[in-house]
Structures are given as C-alpha cells and as structure tokens.
Amino acid sequence: MPHAPIHVIGGGLAGSEAAWQIARVGVPVVLHEMRPHRQTEAHQTGGLAELVCSNSFRSDDAATNAVGLLHEEMRRSGSLIMAAGDRHKLPAGGALAVDRDGFSDEVTQQLESHPLVTLARGEIAGLPPPEWDSVIVATGPLTSPALSAAIGGLTGETELAFFDAIAPIVHLETIDESITWRQSRYDKPGPAGSGADYINCPMSREDYERFLDALLAADKTSFKQWEASTPYFDGCLPIEVMGERGRDTLRFGPMKPVGLSNPHRPGERPHAVVQLRQDNALGTLWNMVGFQTKLKHGEQVRIFRMIPGLENAEFARLGGLHRNTFLNSPRLLDGELRLKAEPRLRFAGQITGCEGYVESAAIGLLAGRAAAAERLGQAWVPPPPTTAFGALLGHITGGHIAAESEGGARSFQPMNVNFGLFPPIEEPVRDAAGNRIKGKERGAARKRALTARALADLDGWLASPHRVAAE
C-alpha cells in the first residue's frame, strides 16, 4: 500500500529541502506554499526557495569555516538547495553566491517535476486538519498572521516571538580574564548557578564616557517600514536607544555596577559593568547581557572592543533586532523537531531559531529525513553533535542555557552556525609534518581539526544502518 503523504507547509529554503528529502526516499509529500496568491512583506515572486535579500550562502570553505562545513555536510546528504546553488553559482571569491532567479527556478522545477511531490498553492490559515498525521511547518520568519496565531494558541503566546532581540555573543577564549572576573550580582547563585555565573567587564568613568560617545555617534541600521510599525520595544530597547535617553541610563540599566566587586582592584568601585552570561551548555559562548542593538556590524565590533576585557573579542553572533517569528524551541521541541505538545507537527527552518538561508535549509533537511524515517517505520538517529548538523540541532533543541529571569524576556534567540556550538577539541600543537604550530596559526589548525572530525563523524552517520537510505 502506498504511504500516506507528509504535508510540508511553506516552500522556502527549509520547506523545499524537507520536501526533497522526503520524496527522494519514496514517501509522497504535499508542499503547501501560499505565494503567489499571498505574499509576505519580503518575498516578491511565486518561486520556491526565494532568497529575500542577499544572494550569498556565505563562505564555501569547508576546512576552516562553520557555514562552509555545513555546505559540505548538505552536499554529502543529497541536498537539493546545495545542488541548485552549485549549479547557479556566481563568481564571489571564497563565498558561494548564486543567481537568485536561476536558483529558485531550479528548485521549483525539480520539485514540480518529481512524481512524489504535489505542490499545493494556498495559505494554510490555521492549524492543519487532524487527518494530516505528519506535518512539517516551515513557514519562516514571516509566517502568515493566521497561522502564527494558531501556533501561538497551541504553544502559549509567550513561547512564540515576533521579533528577535539579539545581543552579541563572544567566544570565551577571546575574553581577557585577567581584566574581567566571574561573579553573579550580590553573589546570588540562582536556580542553576554557583554565585559566579557572569563574566564582568569593569569600566572606569573615562571608559564609560568614551564608550557612550562612540555609541551615540555610531552608524545604525534603519528599520524597514513594516518593522518600524511593530511595537517590540517593551523590555528589549536597543542599547543605543537607551544611551540616547540620558548619559546615565545605561549605568542604571544593563551596565549597572551594583552588587559586584572587582578582585583585580579591591576597594575600587567600577563606574559601570558589562556582564556576559553563559549561553550554551558547553560554556564556549557568552552573551552580552542587555546589549541588543541595531548598530551596523562593523560598528559593533569596533565599539564593543572598547570594553575592558573585550579588546580582542571574536563574536560568534552580532546583535540585531528584526521581525522574526520563532519558537522557544529548546522548551517546545523534542530532539526530532516535533512539538512535544502535538508530535504530529514538526518545525523546520528559521521558525525553529536558526538564522540564515543555509541553516534554515539544513534544518529542513533534518526535519524531512526524520519525518520520512518515521513514515517508513525506521528509527531516526540524530546527527552527532560534532557535526555542523548536530551542533545546529543542539542549539535549537537543547544546547542553550535559559535565563528567563531578566525582565521576563526569554533568552533563546536565533543563531547562525558557528564553531562555538561544537564540542571543544584539543588544540593541535604539531602539524602533519611534526612541526610545532605557531601561535597565530593555532586557531586555523583548531578549526581544521573540528571540520575533519565533523566530516568523519558525518560519513559515519550517513552510513549508519538507521539512516534513511536513498532509493
């Protein structure tokens, strides 16, 4: 008897990849896309996998770049998005840039011509009917309001956000801990803490004044019209807006120095303190508390490196504020991206809390494989945490450390794939020829070791007996 179809809602980056992965193992799929009948605020065409802004999939370097590694993992997993991207690539140095129309046309044509794929044009304006027993919701950052409302009703409204409020995240090894110190305000341990849970960066009056002047003069990104009209500001004001409200506003807000004492300068009270909080269970990534911002990325790097202790900071993520519909996934989804409260519904793409075209497609790939395996009665083994797939899935379904206490705002925010999400690896000290690796080459050697481990583990995962074997 033929299998009942899996329904995928949303024919963007994630939904197109999910549908492809399902069909290629012999399971029928219905792909529901509301465009061109109904557009989002950013899409312009009726094509599947439309790129709404840049035409770049970012670095294609699989040896020393985490998104380049993700490209390679997807290629090895038979990704439609990567195959179409490779076929329509444009000259762009080390990046993979694509001809957006050729790319979208190719994805549309491949799916439309697949005998197991039915493309259904129309909005799903509420929860899917109960007879759809396996559904992947991949409706993206601009999910239509009717479906968002239905999902919010299912998850509880506070678990579905309509804006991200992204504070920068710093790689731990680039923080100068000879200047900073670890302490929670008033040494409070909190539910999961030790009393020394924050990394504190002290500022003198001069440091603070200089920082504030730079912040106020910095280049900001403007809001798109449809972003500006959404009332997201409560509880997540950008720091530059707080700075504009008065010279001491930040010192009484996220940079308040109270309840903290600097062991490097006993008896001296800092004028302001920037706090970083552990962001992932591995302890490799630290989040600048309250530093959500619309500053341009170059300006963020320049200005945040003025903070004592962060002079050499490398950022796993820079700050931002965007219209973005996404779930509190670590709480709501299981390890197979199923909604715990209603497991017939899986989620994929940016709505799960990843960020970027490639990451969204990668989560679509995993959701598609998991749903297909379930339909075929096979056990699905998630990718190892050492792979880019596993690192990203870990961020979404479990790696994030929640900090629900600050102003009531939940702390899970979307993230691009980056090496801070991978389990650490011992830094190689000698190269293949046995020569000692010099200081500045060590970072690249560490990344090469991470990517080599990832690809070896990926190949093992793809070859494992529980994988979904392509027909």
Ligand X SMILES: Cc1cc2nc3c(=O)[nH]c(=O)nc-3n(C[C@H](O)[C@H](O)[C@H](O)COP(=O)(O)OP(=O)(O)OC[C@H]3O[C@@H](n4cnc5c(N)ncnc54)[C@H](O)[C@@H]3O)c2cc1C
- Give the binding site for ligand X (CB under 6 A): 9-15, 32-35, 40, 42-43, 52-54, 123-124, 138-144, 147, 349-351, 356-357, 360
What is the nearest approach in angstroms of ligand X to the Cβ of residue 136?
11
Pick 15 or 420: Cβ nearer ligand X: 15
Pick 138 or 391: Cβ nearer ligand X: 138
Pick 179 or 236: Cβ nearer ligand X: 236
Backbone angles phi, psi at 5, to 5 degrees: -75, 155
CA 393 – CA 353 distance, rounded (Å): 10
Pick 169 or 199: Cβ nearer ligand X: 169
DSSP 351: G
What is the nearest approach in angstroms of ligand X to the Cβ of residue 34?
4
What is the nearest approach in angstroms of ligand X to the Cβ of residue 10?
3
DSSP 79: -
What is the nearest approach in angstroms of ligand X to the Cβ of residue 465?
30
- Residue 284 CB-density burial (10 A; 0-12 exposed, 13-18 middle, 19+ buried): buried
DSSP 157: G
What is the nearest approach in angstroms of ligand X to the Cβ of residue 411?
20
CA 95 – CA 103 distance, rounded (Å): 16
Residue 126 corresponds to which tokens in the numbers above?
Answer: 């509420």
What is the nearest approach in angstroms of ligand X to the Cβ of residue 146?
6
Pick 309 or 349: Cβ nearer ligand X: 349
Q: Which helix (H) or strand (E) holds 114?
A: none
Non-local (6+) Cβ contacts of 213 within 8 A are: none
Q: Can you count the helices (H) and strands (E) in the chain? A: 13, 17
Pick 123 or 314: Cβ nearer ligand X: 123
CA 87 – CA 197 distance, rounded (Å): 48
Q: Which residue is nearest to ligand X (CB)?
A: 12
